Amino acid sequence: MTMVPSPRHQTRLYLDKIYDVEFTPDVTYGIGGIGYSAEKGATRYRELKLDIYRPRIEKDQPRPALILAYGGAFHRGNKSAEVFEGENPSTPVAEYCQEFARRGYVCFSIDYRLMQEDPDPGFTPFLLPGQPQSRDRVDFVRNILGLPPSTPEMMTNTLEAATDDMSQAVSFVRSQSQALGIDISRIAIGGFSAGAVIALNSAFAERAPVAAVVALSGRIAGATMQAYLTPTIRNPAAFLAFGEHDLPVMLGGIEEMREHMTRAGIANEFVNVPGAGHFYLRTAEVACSNGSPTDLETRIAEFLYEKLGLALAKHLSPDIADGGHADTGTSMMTVERLQAFADAWNRHDIDDLMSFMTDDCMFEANSGHEVAGTSFRGRPQVREGFMRVWQAYPDAQWNNARHFISGDRGVSEWVFSGSNSDRQSVEVKGCDVFIFRGDKIVLKNSFRKQRT
- CATH number of 438's domain: 3.10.450.50
- Indicate if 212 and 124 belong to the same structural domain: yes
pLDDT of residue 6: 40
- Indicate if 277 and 373 belong to the same structural domain: no
Average pLDDT over residues 253-274: 92
Q: pLDDT (tens digit, 9 = 90+) per residue, 338-374?
A: 999 999 999 999 998 999 999 889 999 988 777 778 8
CA 446 to chain centre: 23
> pLDDT-based confidence at 252, cuts 50/70/90?
confident
- Indicate if 133 and 244 belong to the same structural domain: yes
pLDDT of residue 86: 59
Q: How far apart are CA 345 and CA 361, in angstroms?
A: 17
Residue 33 lies in a domain: yes
Task: List helix spans (H) across 229-334.
Answer: 248-251, 254-263, 296-307, 310-313
Q: pLDDT (tens digit, 9 = 90+) per residue, 280-320?
A: 999 999 998 788 899 999 999 999 999 998 876 655 444 33
Given a cut of 60, is residue 329 above it in pLDDT? Answer: no
- Indicate if 137 and 177 belong to the same structural domain: yes
Distances (CA, A) of 19 to 105, 156, 321: 10, 41, 12
For residue 97, give the CATH number of its domain.
Answer: 3.40.50.1820
Structural domain that includes position 75? 21-316
Q: How far apart are CA 307 and CA 64, in angstroms?
A: 11
Q: How far apart are CA 450 and CA 38, in angstroms?
A: 49
- Indicate if 173 and 280 belong to the same structural domain: yes
- Indicate if 157 and 192 belong to the same structural domain: yes
Residue 427 lies in a domain: yes
pLDDT of residue 326: 38
Count of the separate structural domains present in the chain: 2
Residue 240 lies in a domain: yes
Q: Which of 10-19, 115-124, 207-216, 424-433 has the lowest mean pLDDT?
A: 10-19
- Indicate if 86 and 171 belong to the same structural domain: yes
Three-state SS letters, 78-112? CCCCCCCCCCCCCCCHHHHHHHHHHHCCEEEEECC
- Indicate if 285 and 360 belong to the same structural domain: no
pLDDT of residue 116: 95
List, in order, residues 6 or more apart from 146 with CB less than 8 Å away. Answer: none
Describe the crossing of helices 296-307 and 93-103 by its angle, rounded to 10 degrees: 60
Average pLDDT of the chain, as a whole number? 88
- Indicate if 142 and 215 belong to the same structural domain: yes
Q: Strands 182-192 and 212-216: what pairing?
A: parallel
Contact of 241 with 253, CB cutoff 8 Å: no
Residue 324 lies in a domain: no
Residue 64 lies in a domain: yes
- Write down the pTM of the prediction: 0.76
- Indicate if 309 and 181 belong to the same structural domain: yes
DSSP assignment letter at 373: S
pLDDT of residue 261: 93
pLDDT of residue 360: 86
Q: Is 4 helix (H, G, I), strand (E, B) or coil?
A: coil
- Choose one of 281, 316, 351: the last residue of a domain: 316
DSSP 326-353: BTT------HHHHHHHHHHHHHT-HHHH
Given a cut of 50, is residue 33 above it in pLDDT? Answer: yes
- Choose one of 272, 289, 316: the last residue of a domain: 316
> pLDDT-based confidence at 330, cuts 50/70/90?
low
Residue 256 lies in a domain: yes
Q: Which of 13-27, 161-175, 213-227, 315-329 has the lowest mean pLDDT?
A: 315-329
- Indicate if 260 and 363 belong to the same structural domain: no
pLDDT of residue 199: 97
Give the dihedral sign, CA 274/279/283/289: positive
Average pLDDT over residues 87-103: 91
pLDDT of residue 119: 96
Residue 386 lies in a domain: yes
- Indicate if 199 and 262 belong to the same structural domain: yes
Average pLDDT over residues 19-43: 94
Residue 387 lies in a domain: yes
